[in-house]
Structure 1
Amino acid sequence: MRLLLINPNTTQALTERLSKTARQVLPPDVELIATTAETGFPYISSRAEAQIAGAGVLETIARHQSGVDALTIAAFGDPGLLAARELFDLPVTGMTEAAMLSACMLGQRFAFVTFTPNLAPWYDEQVRQAQLTARYAGVFTPDVPLGAIDRIDADLRAPLIAQCGRAVAAGADVVILSGAPLAGMAATLRDEVPAVLLDPVQTAVLQAVTLARLCPKGASAGSFRRPPEKPSTGLSDALRRQIARS
């Protein structure tokens, strides 16, 4: 099985961090292919940035879909997720949705712990879209700013543990370490947090593998049925052909 991991951020170090974290839980028969966005932002932290990144995700899938069995969008907020499910005949998972759904199977209420308060309103919207508000205990962020990617484990360890404690005190049974820069930290913090701690990229790749093995076909009816073919202007050749069905 071949799984495509798309990092919609432009930071190669994030792709390497996400890939390493994903490979820790993937079965040995799964080949992981990782890509990094060529345009956009070092890391996505707003709705506008996610909207721009989502278009890049669709172009990446169009270029790399041949020979791929499933794919994961490895950025919190899942830029391009619903559009990808509408446009491509592949199982597609996103970190936010996968983490929330997994959390609901491991506890009654979940919370996000992330690296910036700017993401809180956006995360709230993701919960409402998934209709999981009754299972949601909130977003918790440290006051320490995000620094260099290679120093996250040291710089944010204590602040993140403190915020996980706040989330548990607010009623969370499951804490989701949110955002691509925090990939891999759940494993190092589990002994310090009195709740289930989830790594979103691991939940997303495992769900993608499961969906691929269920052998679903692309949607032919309902809200994810393929849109009518249509000409376009200015898109990459691969995405233009996908939309035109040529």
Structure 2
Amino acid sequence: MRILLINPNTSADMTERMVATAGPVLAPDVELVALTATQGLPYIASRAEAVVAGALTLEMIAAHQDGMDAVVLAAFGDPGLIAARELFDLPVVAMAEAAMLTACMLGPKFSIVTFSPALTPWYEDAVALSGMQARCASIRVPEAGFRSVADVQHELEAELVETTRRAVAEDKADVVILAGAPLTGLAQRVADRVPVPLIDPLSAAVGQAQVLARLKPRPAAAGRFARPGPKPATGLSPALGAWIEHRPAAARTNGAHRSGG
């Protein structure tokens, strides 16, 4: 089995952290093929940036989907998720939705803890998109600032743990999601310091992608995610344009990072 992991941020270090975090949840027969965006932003922090990242995500899937069994979108606000499910034939899983669905299997109410207040409106939209408003107890952010997004989980580790504890004590959260790609891997490191289950969104998404790939669902031929009919495309990447026009892909890119069996 091969899982395509798309990091729509341009940070290769973040991709490496994602690959390392996903390792323990990969089955022995699974290969993780990880891609980092080559254009765009080092990390996505707003709805406008998510729209840009969503378009890049579609281009990356179109160019690298051959031979894949599922796709993981590795940004918590799930940029491009609905469009990717509509356009492509293989299962597409994203971090926010996967984390929330996983949290709901562990408790009635979850809270989301992240590292910057700028992310809150986008994450509120992600909760609404997944239909999870009634299950979301709160979205919390530490009051402290940080210097580097690459090191934010270490800079704010104590503050993030305390914010998580407050979500449990004050908001009655039964499960807490540590949200944002820069926090990937933190849940495993601080799990014993929080009295409820912690969800790492990347691990949840990779785990669910493997389940869907093994189920081998047929592509939708009707309903909300039926692939649109062919349409002329101008100015798009060759692979995405060819896919939208229902032609064999005209271009493929290489350079993916591989992990797993």
Q: 1:90-129 alignment to 2 at 5 Å? A: 90-129=90-129
Secondary structure of the structure 2 residue equivalent to 1:226: coil
The residue aligned with 1:48 is 48
Distance in 1, matches of 2:90 and 2:46, equals 27
* Cα shift at 1:19: 1.0
Distance in 2, matches of 1:121 and 1:237, equals 34
Greater RCO structure (CA 8 Å; 6+ sep): 2
Distance in 2, matches of 1:244 and 1:66, equals 17
The residue aligned with 1:196 is 197
What residue identity is the alignment partner of 2:137?
A: A
What residue identity is the alignment partner of 1:239?
A: L
- Post-superposition, which runs of at least 4 consecutive aligned residues in structure 1 deviate over 6 A? none
* Cα shift at 1:153: 4.0
* Cα shift at 1:149: 5.0
Change (3 A) 1:149 1:28: farther
Alignment root-mean-square deviation, CA: 1.0
Distance in 2, matches of 1:146 and 1:216, equals 43
8 Å CA contact retained: 2:14, 2:150: no
Secondary structure of the structure 1 residue equivalent to 2:107: coil
What residue identity is the alignment partner of 2:185?
A: G
Secondary structure of the structure 2 residue equivalent to 1:34: strand
8 Å CA contact retained: 2:7, 2:15: yes
Change (3 A) 1:18 1:89: same
The TM-score, its normalising length taken from structure 2, stands at 0.92
The residue aligned with 1:12 is 12
8 Å CA contact retained: 1:9, 1:53: yes
What residue identity is the alignment partner of 1:203?
A: A
The residue aligned with 2:256 is none
Structure 1 residue runs without a partner (length 5+): none
8 Å CA contact retained: 2:72, 2:206: yes
The residue aligned with 1:207 is 208
Change (3 A) 1:28 1:147: farther
Distance in 1, matches of 2:47 and 2:153, equals 26
The residue aligned with 1:178 is 179
What residue identity is the alignment partner of 2:222?
A: A
